[in-house]
Structure 1
């Protein structure tokens, strides 16, 4: 029995030992197949190893036996620069009894340096002695990839920054008061709803900002001038941000990005690490194993941490449910190929994480073979490579966006090397300069394409760009086919992984330049004639008067078209414009190339005759001009008079300033137009007095209007046969406070000013109507009153209606009024207004008298067209009756014309009985003049009537 029991006990112990041995074998196999090193060692350098897995050979080149035998220590292969830091980190972890994670370099047996990531923790043995247990992974490839990505990112960033104003980050600059001095496009897009940001305080945009971690960091950088990178949570938006704050002159520049997702990922990783309870659990990758057929039979806890799924449920092929649907076929095919061929599995795929998002992972597995060579199991890891894949995708997207922007850019963009050779040009570059292929540009120096006069400017800009400056300038440069173009150039330096580069951005501003030139031309030229305008003329004249008068003498000619107003009024503005253009063309043709011709406005032109030494030369030039202008100009079958009057002044004889020369030439022009037209007048000092007299006349007239000094005097019109007073003519007088009643010739110049003449006429009519109203009320039988109306009255419209309204308001009948007009009202602009006004007056009972008949331009057709009731023979003809047969013939013809047309005839200016007898015998029955009575004030009319009637009865 005892023997049986002992046998049973021995058999049980053997089975347990066998199971334990098998378990240890499996654990050793699992650890041995891990892509890294599992170890147990002392807590102080050189960290003598009690245990190290076989993975140490692949990573260090030294087999586990050498380590276990103590022939080499870990401290021997750690990089000298990394050893102190590694020692400090382990020492701190041992002292605090906490896990540690360190990244450092070791020298491989073959001499190359490799990057390792070590995760470990202090563990107490049975006797209380502390050891280090952990896992070491080779991260050399990851480090190299990270470095490669970083270099690539720097290159892309440098190129994009040089070409684009914005970056993927939000960038802004602040002054020392935290006011915005610059914001990039991404920042403006983020705050598109805000008004202009430049100059505003960041506190206006983000209230309470200065009390946040970011606000305090900005202030520190401003104070210390030391850059900081801060990563912190911003409560107002519940997001994490990373900000790089760099001191700049007078403030800071901030590059910031939203790192909320990364912070969340880091938090998830920290949470996963905290749950690790063993050396295996400290491995950051998901560790798994399968049977020979690829059926999953082990998943480390990191699987559940990442996917949120139950590890046990995902054994076998259940784990495939966490793989992105688009990746499953690829992963299954890769697995099948690896199992069939016994090759390493290496495939990237997306796993659904616990939050429902997908993350990129790298799935790797290698087979463990039996001694027979058959695959027994597969061991592998699943590494999170999401950031690398996303970063790579972002980089590719950024490059694609950059290419798209460059392709779509309306600017010509070139990248040059440090020597100025073209490395890159966007598609618009060759097309903009009429080249077919960009290879005609690549590899050649940019400045060699430029004109000699602009190449040096470009070369200087490149030199400044090499020194770090951004240079902007505008230059002309024709295309390959010779088309002229203007370009706005920006030359900017960039620094990248490839070294110094220069970006040249050229924008075609030809149209803008042409527009600017057109604006400049339009500002200095008359649009109708193309001649220089008053502004350019004044500039030229100012330049000339500042030169040496002994060397640069010249003459100033002012020209005025003699008949322009009549053409413009009678034929319209189109005909007037054509006449002005013809005048300008002939004027240019009549002078020399060195003479300066300008249109000052309206029908006024000017010529600066260069080198004019005296009056003879000026007269010669003026004769040439007048001769050219006298040729008739035909328009629409009509001959237009293109003649002009000219006034001239000489420099320096007639003035040493622009104002003096213009004033004196204008005075000479006025004299030329006042004497006889179509001639030249050179300024003489005596002309100044005449002009001043005319100015004085106009001033007297305006003063008389302002102070109500205009008064009508009345001269009787007498029946030459009976002596009866038939009516009166109202004649203009004005009262001078010192000299008393003045005749109209003292303000004669006022009648040449249309507005003043019209105002005088209005004042006279108002006073005459008031006098007729008073006479009517007093019972004075005045017959009728003839009122003189200026031509300007008719052209402004409404004259007839206004006069009739005044008569009606005063209670004076229309038959008590005659309106006397001169022949000039029939001519020029507004003839239709004249006809309408005269017909309105005539139909109301007002008689129309044509004054000074025979001295002007009226034709007999006017007597038929207009309602003329009275013809008045001008006093110049009456004065010569009995002395001049021609005058007598004209008077006789007018009387006969009136008799034939049944128009009343009145003779003016009768001074003698002989004149009165001649007129009476000739058939003229009405007259006026000093023979009967001079003009008298309204208050004298009643007594004048009584005296004349008494004289008539006495006779």
Structure 2
């Protein structure tokens, strides 16, 4: 393709010098210089992957290199004017037209990416760049540009960007991209006057799926959840995986009624049982919801409030949906206050055990004690564990509190043994958080050795939360190791959980503790449950302990029905370690 007259004139001005013009007004050697420049231009283009083109000021194509024609399969006549638009992808044509309208008037350089149809009918990404040639007044004379094939590079960049924005396992949006999308949809909702729901899903007991069936099954479950939510969430919506077994969904709708219906549809998508190979699993999930604008005018506030609703759903036992309520924020403040108090009590060494005796109902004598956590407020005295209840659900604090209690109790037991005081077994409570550690049994047994306390002096009380938060194999390993060492196992709050009978069948348990809710002022139905638990214990050779015994009538009823031990204020309130010896002495001489 030759240089047109306007470009030649432009080159002439660049090489001419005053006083050196020939008869035609051209500088000596100009023709040779222009030929050299054109030759250099031709070789440069020939060796370059770029396709050169020229257009009129309005963008109509004037000329294009042969390689460009060869790629597209069009003739020069076909591409001139607006004909080149025929090879632009239909989805890109509007953007190209808009770009030309803007640049034709402003004269800005052009740099955009567009898909072009190749001779074989396929589309490839190309980068089109151009700059205008202007006269001295700034009027655009021509556009000179190039087209570069960037298809492979763009696909690679798109692949990298996709990987950064999407979860590698499920293919849905990853955390950062999802939250960015939430921010965008909230801004658009503010402009459109629509409503948005942020819905957070946390799969209940997902860890058990991995532990019981293997990580392949767990991965398949996560993929299935992502697919179900994506299918159920009709646009405008976006589904993301925030990490682990937590998923998120936001929905935009014109009004609250349609928004609630869309939420219900998404939640219902997880109701059907999950199936993978030979495994069938009912996927229970905790769900927290926050609504825009009612629960937050910004995406960050919306996310925090949805988190609070999710925490409330999980605290209710899981498998439930909770909408954000204003009081949840106050509850969270109370929880944070409890955590702060617990940390302070640990740092200042204020944790101490109190001991409540267990009474043999047949003899009326003390048979052992339960160690109950207390902490000593410098100004208000001894405080109950309810004041730091949230700490027992915090992984770090629950472990620290458990270990501090073990140290205090074992120090007391050692002191009593050195004085010849026989306390019977001392029961120590273990939270579900403590039981998560694979080395829980090893560490407890090592502590016993360090304090010189025999394992036969200790009983470990666990609740059914231990089973729900850990795999059956994990719990069985720990319980078996503790019992082999000589520690007995008590199942606390029996009858209040969901799978107590299954646990008795699977795990070696020595003691059942009947929850005080069945014993204290019970209805006829409650007492039927008490009798059933006592009978179950006898049938399985497991001792039973009734908590919350407050009256002589309850004690006598328990004794008549065959309960082994009682514990409650009828016998004694919890006492400090220093008072235990006196209790035992009074029990001995009465």
**Offset of residue 624 of structure 1:** 3.4
Question: Which deviations, in whole Å up to 9, do the C-alpha atoms of 1:77-115 show, x marking residues without a partner?
Answer: xxxxxxxxxxxxxxxxxxxxxxxxxxxxxxxxxxxxxxx
- The structure 1 residue matched to 2:229, chosen from 587, 600, 625, is 587
Question: In the alignment, is the contact (CA less than 8 A) between 1:794 and 1:830 conserved in 2?
Answer: no
**Offset of residue 901 of structure 1:** 3.2
Distance in structure 2 (CA, Å) of the matches to 1:596 and 1:860: 42
Distance in structure 2 (CA, Å) of the matches to 1:155 and 1:903: 106
In the alignment, which residue of structure 2 is the partner of 1:710? 351
Question: In the alignment, is the contact (CA less than 8 A) between 1:841 and 1:847 conserved in 2?
Answer: yes
Cα gap change, 1:559 to 1:474, in 2 (>3 Å)? closer
In the alignment, which residue of structure 1 is the partner of 2:120? 481
- Give runs of aligned pairs for residues 563-712 of structure 1, distance below 5 A: 563-565=204-206, 566-601=208-243, 602-613=245-256, 616-675=257-316, 677-712=318-353
In the alignment, which residue of structure 2 is the partner of 1:895? 534
Please give the root-mean-square deviation of Cα atoms over the aligned residues, in Å: 4.1
- Give runs of aligned pairs for residues 685-764 of structure 1, distance below 5 A: 685-764=326-405
Unaligned runs of at least 5 residues, structure 1: 1-146, 165-401, 494-500
Question: In the alignment, is the contact (CA less than 8 A) between 2:131 and 2:143 conserved in 1?
Answer: yes
Question: Which deviations, in whole Å up to 9, do the C-alpha atoms of 1:465-494 show, x marking residues without a partner?
Answer: xx9x9987644322123311112356799x
**Offset of residue 548 of structure 1:** 8.0
- Give runs of aligned pairs for residues 469-548 of structure 1, distance below 5 A: 474-489=113-128, 506-546=147-187
- Give runs of aligned pairs for residues 94-133 of structure 1, distance below 5 A: none
Cα gap change, 1:444 to 1:412, in 2 (>3 Å)? farther
**Offset of residue 556 of structure 1:** 2.4
Distance in structure 2 (CA, Å) of the matches to 1:162 and 1:708: 85
Distance in structure 2 (CA, Å) of the matches to 1:607 and 1:851: 41
Residue aligned with 1:451, SS? helix
Residue aligned with 2:294, SS? coil
- After TM superposition, the score normalised by the length of structure 2 is 0.78
In the alignment, which residue of structure 2 is the partner of 1:818? 459
Distance in structure 1 (CA, Å) of the matches to 2:164 and 2:583: 65
Distance in structure 1 (CA, Å) of the matches to 2:272 and 2:475: 33
**Offset of residue 626 of structure 1:** 3.6
Residues paired across the two proteins, number: 541
Distance in structure 2 (CA, Å) of the matches to 1:906 and 1:878: 11
- Give runs of aligned pairs for residues 295-444 of structure 1, distance below 5 A: 406=47, 411=49, 421=63, 425=67, 432-433=71-72, 435=73
Question: In the alignment, is the contact (CA less than 8 A) between 1:597 and 1:608 conserved in 2?
Answer: no
In the alignment, which residue of structure 1 is the partner of 2:416? 775
Residue aligned with 1:630, SS? coil
- The structure 2 residue matched to 1:451, chosen from 81, 85, 98, is 85
Distance in structure 2 (CA, Å) of the matches to 1:809 and 1:590: 58
Distance in structure 1 (CA, Å) of the matches to 2:306 and 2:361: 52
Cα gap change, 1:677 to 1:161, in 2 (>3 Å)? same
| Structure showing greater relative contact order (alpha-carbon pairs closer than 8 Å, 6 or more residues apart) | 2
Cα gap change, 1:578 to 1:489, in 2 (>3 Å)? same
Cα gap change, 1:813 to 1:673, in 2 (>3 Å)? closer
Question: In the alignment, is the contact (CA less than 8 A) between 1:163 and 1:503 conserved in 2?
Answer: no
Cα gap change, 1:442 to 1:153, in 2 (>3 Å)? farther
- The structure 2 residue matched to 1:929, chosen from 568, 571, 583, is 568
**Offset of residue 678 of structure 1:** 4.8
**Offset of residue 160 of structure 1:** 4.3
In the alignment, which residue of structure 2 is the partner of 1:914? 553
- After TM superposition, the score normalised by the length of structure 1 is 0.50
Question: In the alignment, is the contact (CA less than 8 A) between 2:496 and 2:515 conserved in 1?
Answer: yes
Residue aligned with 1:629, SS? coil
Cα gap change, 1:701 to 1:568, in 2 (>3 Å)? farther
Cα gap change, 1:707 to 1:618, in 2 (>3 Å)? farther
Which segment drifts farther, 785-794 or 591-600?
591-600
Unaligned runs of at least 5 residues, structure 2: 1-27, 87-92, 133-141
**Offset of residue 804 of structure 1:** 1.3
**Offset of residue 748 of structure 1:** 2.0
Distance in structure 1 (CA, Å) of the matches to 2:322 and 2:449: 51
Question: Which deviations, in whole Å up to 9, do the C-alpha atoms of 1:563-590 show, x marking residues without a partner?
Answer: 2535455444443443344334433444
Cα gap change, 1:762 to 1:874, in 2 (>3 Å)? same
Cα gap change, 1:771 to 1:470, in 2 (>3 Å)? same
Is 1:940–2:585 an aligned residue pair?
A: no
Distance in structure 1 (CA, Å) of the matches to 2:496 and 2:505: 18
